[in-house]
C-alpha cells in the first residue's frame, strides 16, 4: 500500500520530474489542492539502499478514564516517551535526554490526565492517554497501536497529539500543523478564543511536520488527528527578547545531547497550550459530535 522508497524533492527537481513525464507541475498542483488526487507519471527510477537491522523490544503505555454515558467512545491524547538513546562514540555527554522532544509532551499528558481524573463531573466519553515508544525510529509505537488498536478505531473520536511543546513562552497565536485538515480546528479555535488567541498555519509547512509525528499514524487510519502548539507571536516584549535568546538553543539542540532541561526555560507557554488542548479534549468528550476530515483531506474515514 506504499512505495518501497520515499523521500523529498526540491521544487526545481519536482518540476523537472513532472516535465519529463509530459505534465505541467503547476496545473497538477492545482488539481491536487482541490481534493485527493493521483496520476501515474510512468517514469522509472533506480535506487540502491544499504541497510543493517537490529531488533529490540519497547513498550507503549496506555490508560483510560471511563466516560459517564458513552464509555466505549474515546478521545485519545498521545505523546512519545522515547528519544535517541545513547551514543558511546561521543566525548563527554553521550545521552540524548530529549527534554524538549519530548519530555514536554509527556509532562503535559501526565498533568492533563491528573486534571481529568480530578474532575467533579465525568465527561460522557472516555479519555485515553497513549504514551508511545519509538517515534524517533519512524513512528513505530503509534504505527503498531494504530494497526493493533486496543480501542476500536471506529470508536476513536479523535487524536490530540503533543510533541515538543513550546518552551519559548506565551504567544498570541496558535500554530496548527497541517492546517485545514479537519473539523478539529473548529474546537481548537473556540478554545483559543477563550484565551484571546487565534489560529495560524505552521511556520514551515513545506517541512511536512504533519507527517512526522504520532498523530499521522491515526490519520492514516482515518481518525481525525490534531497537532497544534504555541505560535510565533510573543505575548509581550519581554517574551520576545527571551524567545530570541532561547530559540537559538532550542534549534541548536534539536536531536542533540544538549536537549536537556534548563532552569531558564519559561514554561508558561506549555502551561497555556496544555490548558488549550485540555479544553479541546473536554469539549469533544462532552459532545455527541464526530468530527470529520475536510473534503480536501487525504485521510477520510473508511466507510
pLDDT at 53 over 90: no
Question: How far apart are alpha carbons 36 and 189 in whole angstroms?
Answer: 25
Residue 300 lies in a domain: no
Task: Find where cell 484571546 sits.
Answer: 196
Task: Find where cell 488526487 sits.
Answer: 37
The pLDDT mean for the chain works out to 94
Peptide bond into 92 cis (omega under 30): no
Structural domain including 46 reads: 9-53
Which whole number is the average pLDDT over 232-260? Answer: 95
* Same domain for 172 and 129: yes
For residue 228, list its beta bridge partners. Answer: 176
pLDDT at 1 over 60: no
The burial of 3, by beta-carbon neighbours within 10 Å (0-12 exposed, 13-18 middle, 19 or more buried), is given as exposed
Residue 290 lies in a domain: no
Residues contacting residue 165 through CB under 8 Å, at least 6 positions apart:
100, 104, 105, 108, 229, 230, 269, 270, 273, 274
The pLDDT, as a whole number, for residue 113 is 97
Hey, what's the cell of 88? 558511546
pLDDT at 303 over 70: no
The pLDDT, as a whole number, for residue 2 is 65
The pLDDT, as a whole number, for residue 54 is 82
Question: How far apart are alpha carbons 116 and 184 in whole angstroms?
Answer: 20
Convert the pLDDT of each residue in 208-220 to its tens digit: 889 999 999 999 9
* Same domain for 120 and 37: no
The three-state secondary structure class of 60 is coil
Which whole number is the average pLDDT over 227-231? Answer: 96
Which whole number is the average pLDDT over 220-248? Answer: 96
Length, in residues, of the chain: 303
Residues contacting residue 110 through CB under 8 Å, at least 6 positions apart:
none
Least confident of 149-153, 207-211, 225-229, 281-285: 207-211
* Same domain for 167 and 69: yes
Total count of domains within the chain: 2
pLDDT at 120 over 90: yes
Amino acid at each position: 500500500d506504499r512505495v518501497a522508497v520515499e523521500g523529498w524533492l526540491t521544487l526545481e527537481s519536482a518540476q523537472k520530474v513532472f516535465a519529463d513525464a509530459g505534465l505541467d507541475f503547476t496545473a497538477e498542483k492545482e488539481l491536487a489542492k482541490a481534493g485527493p488526487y493521483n496520476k501515474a507519471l510512468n517514469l522509472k527510477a533506480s535506487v540502491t539502499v544499504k541497510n543493517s537491522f537490529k531488533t529490540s523490544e519497547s513498550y507503549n503505555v496506555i490508560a483510560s478514564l471511563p466516560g459517564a454515558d458513552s464509555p466505549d467512545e474515546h478521545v485519545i491524547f498521545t505523546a512519545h516517551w522515547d528519544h535517541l538513546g545513547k551514543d558511546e562514540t561521543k566525548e563527554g555527554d553521550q545521552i540524548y535526554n530529549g527534554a524538549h522532544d519530548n519530555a514536554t509532551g509527556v509532562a503535559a499528558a501526565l498533568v492533563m490526565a491528573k486534571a481529568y481524573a480530578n474532575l467533579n463531573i465525568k465527561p460522557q466519553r472516555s479519555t485515553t492517554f497513549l504514551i508511545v515508544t519509538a517515534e524517533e525510529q519512524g513512528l513505530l509505537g503509534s504505527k503498531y497501536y494504530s494497526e493493533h488498536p486496543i480501542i476500536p478505531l471506529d470508536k476513536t473520536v479523535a487524536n490530540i497529539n503533543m510533541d515538543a511543546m513550546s518552551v519559548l513562552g506565551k504567544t498570541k497565536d496558535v500554530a496548527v500543523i497541517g492546517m485545514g485538515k479537519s473539523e478539529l480546528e473548529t474546537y481548537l479555535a473556540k478554545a483559543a478564543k477563550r484565551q484571546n488567541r487565534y489560529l495560524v498555519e505552521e511556520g514551515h509547512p513545506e517541512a511536512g511536520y504533519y507527517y512526522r509525528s504520532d498523530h499521522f499514524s491515526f490519520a492514516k487510519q482515518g481518525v481525525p488527528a490534531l497537532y497544534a502548539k504555541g505560535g510565533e507571536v510573543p505575548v509581550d516584549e519581554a517574551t520576545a527578547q527571551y524567545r530570541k535568546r532561547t530559540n537559538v538553543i532550542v534549534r541548536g539542540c534539536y536531536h542533540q545531547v544538549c536537549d536537556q532541561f534548563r532552569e531558564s526555560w519559561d514554561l508558561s507557554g506549555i502551561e497555556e497550550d496544555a490548558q488549550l488542548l485540555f479544553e479541546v479534549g473536554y469539549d469533544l468528550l462532552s459532545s455527541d459530535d464526530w468530527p470529520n476530515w475536510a473534503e480536501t483531506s487525504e485521510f477520510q474515514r473508511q466507510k
